[in-house]
Structure 1
Amino acid sequence: MLAQNYYTGLIEAGCDEAGRGCLAGAVYAAAVILPEDYHNSMLNDSKQLTSKRRYALREEIEKDAVAWAVGTVSPEEIDGINILNASILAMHRALDSLKIRPEAIIIDGNRFKQYRNLPHTTIVKGDGKYLSIAAASILAKTYRDDYMDKIAQEYPQYDWTSNKGYPTKKHRTAIREFGITPYHRKTFNLLGDGQLWLDF
């Protein structure tokens, strides 16, 4: 069973992102505030769950959460500020959209930037340790998957419905054959051979 809270006596939001290591598409992040004494034995790191279970849990999270929100940062913005800053910005945007203001934040990973002077703690593999971070990982992952499935209809040759923008062999082969799309992150090593698409 995952832990309920890191901070005691504060309204705590858990944050996580999805799509940081992708070659294409926006990065997504979610922020979730769960009720005090919340229990859900099925919640876990989204990567440990099947797609069907993630979507079922998304419905439960959205129904049960005190507040939840999703934030995004576009590929163009990622190229302008780098993926680490973009991931943190997506989390800040999710926090901005919460209908209830948190008093503290816990974040999956080891990097974050101060948000509105609130206390915060980064937790490595936090999506497998705290309920609210696990919930945020599920929302970020499923909403980003929905987005990738949608833009895949425009560019089916890149197999985004399967790889979700990650650097699979099929995805990199399609880049070599067809070039890049407006959804690709141009500052990334798209072909995996040390070459960046800096001339676009």
Structure 2
Amino acid sequence: MDPLSISASIAGLLCAGAKIIEVLTQISQLTGAPPLCKAALTEVCDTAATLRLMQNFINSDLSVPTEGRQHVALEHLTVSLAGCVSTKDELETVCDDLGLVYSKSGITGVFDHLRWIRQEEKIKALIQRLQNHKSSLNLILTIVQCSSSTHLQDSVNKLSNLVEKALVSNSTIAMRLARGAGDSSSVPTVKDGSESDELCWLIDGSVWK
């Protein structure tokens, strides 16, 4: 998959994430807003910031040494982005079930606090997953720019552990990668502009070439 396609996937993620941010912002401003809502909002915003940095890297707006790229497998980027897409989809489903209606003109409806309470355990799990995927993306950026061999190896080990954890917790991503094993990995593309973001799994290892 070429860098432009990956960049487009990230752009689609950022666009879809904007809806979640707007809904969570609306809830967090309510009197007696669930404390977990602010934590979720912070995590989604932080992940969006990391995705923008990754987009800059893919677009070559960040200057990084070529040798740094050899320490990051395409699979690492694949799993991290696919995990973000999967978690985004589930968070979006949760937000759509809270009694609020999102549109370009604003948010309408009444927040259903009881529905939030019923979903809190799931939301906590999604926040943890989002933290892991964000950490993976940050580690990738750290590795490709790292000049210390000790710090580099430590970051590579942490990244491998996070990727393994993501594969264990998400069988769909693992199966997609298994299908693409042999010469490259599958990378998700989020198509912006549709009512439900469609995942197109493309196979190509050219991004690091």
What's the TM-score, normalizing by structure 2?
0.23
Higher strand fraction: Structure 1 or Structure 2? 1
What's the TM-score, normalizing by structure 1?
0.24
